[in-house]
Structure 1
Amino acid sequence: MIPFVSSQRNASYIKGGDHLQTNVYLVRHAHSTYTADELGRPLSEKGIVASENVRRLFANKKIDAVLSSPYKRAIQTVECVAAGIGKEVIIKEGFKERRLSVKPMEDFQAAIAKVWEDPTFFWEGGESNVAAQKRGVQALLNVLEEYEGKSIVIGTHGNIMVLLMNFFNRNYDFLFWKSLGMPDIYELVFQGKNLINVERI
């Protein structure tokens, strides 16, 4: 576990005055069987079973809203949480996975390592770490404004999830991404837009 160290990299986003505490639960989707269809790829049987554990983990937590990437595997992982609070999953484009390339890469591990080594590098038709992080962080900041003082579950993906966390603390890096499970859940506690704690659920 990476010890949480508050970073001031997001200082320009912190506003003065008192703010309520907002709890954001980032949920990396459960296992899915690979297909080229990023949007419609569903959970595997293994993933569906694992999503039940996600439901149990949130059963005794007060959750105000459930958001998700538009990708089916992310929605399927958190829709049980939404059902538990009697609400629909709200789709947010900003939390979709980073696009690595316009076409499948022969060596995925090497391709993903490259974009982490050089944050500005991108493969043809893909997003650099800088571009994907900017997109994801903006979505998160919008959520912090809209749901201040609430507890929010967000169904998302490994790379964009770590890029969000990396914005606040550089210790969340490529090696941290490689250590993630499927699913995996991290609670980010914010005071306004200042990240004050991170904990694995």
Structure 2
Amino acid sequence: MKKIYVVRHCEAVGQSPDAQLTDKGLKQAFELCEFFSNIKIDQIIASPYRRAIESIQPLAKRLGLEVEIDRRLTERILSTKNLSDWFEKLRSTFEDIELKFEGGESSREAMNRIVEVVDEIFSRNNDHTVVVTHGNLMSLLFMFYSKDFGFDNWKSLSNPDVFLLIKEGNQVTFKRIWK
């Protein structure tokens, strides 16, 4: 049985790739470290965004593990234009996963990125992996495994958040395990 702990980063000061964690987010990173204190972890893979790396750094340090960076775990770009109604546009991309706005990627394209990462992890020898990413991307991963997971589930995610993906045979299941 292989386990992947999918982590949404802690609270950050913004959305840019170099946005750092807030003071609250830094405390949350240590809470994440404590959360994983009794869980076996073989490897840690993270988005290259600063907030993702800072969220898992205390755990990596405690375990003596390097944080492997995977560009496919970056947050999904909805559009390169400033969309005043971005919230509604985002909702519509959960309803039509092929919908794409200028300069952005569709839900399907983003979903394919993270599913590819997860499939590769499941094919490795490591049995216990932490993946640190972003809310929209992780929601699309769960939507891939369950069509019932959608926009409202994305809205209910916390910073941080942790879900456990388990693969037994060809069956993949997931559940939220963050407190």
SS in 2 for 1:177: helix
Aligned residues of 1:27 and 1:154 also touching (Cα < 8 A)? yes
The 1-side partners of 2:117 and 2:56 are apart by 18
Matches within 5 A, 1:75-154: 75-148=53-126, 150-154=127-131
SS in 2 for 1:127: coil
The 1-side partners of 2:62 and 2:147 are apart by 34
Output one character per residue of 1:46-93: Cα deviation in whole Å (capped at 9) or x when no partner. Answer: 211111110110011111111101111111111111111101100011
**AA partner of residue 80 (structure 2):** V
Partner of 2:166: 189
Give runs of ≥4 in structure 1 deviating > 4 Å. Answer: none
Partner of 2:4: 24
When normalised by structure 1's length, the TM-score is 0.83
Flag the 1:76–1:193 CA change in 2: closer, same or farther, 3 A. farther
- CA apart distance, 1:197: 4.5
SS in 2 for 1:134: helix
Flag the 1:140–1:32 CA change in 2: closer, same or farther, 3 A. same
SS in 1 for 2:148: coil
When normalised by structure 2's length, the TM-score is 0.93
**AA partner of residue 83 (structure 2):** M
Partner of 1:34: 14
Flag the 1:192–1:72 CA change in 2: closer, same or farther, 3 A. farther
Consecutive unaligned residues in structure 2, runs of 5 or more: none
Flag the 1:41–1:101 CA change in 2: closer, same or farther, 3 A. same
Consecutive unaligned residues in structure 1, runs of 5 or more: 1-20
The 2-side partners of 1:198 and 1:75 are apart by 23
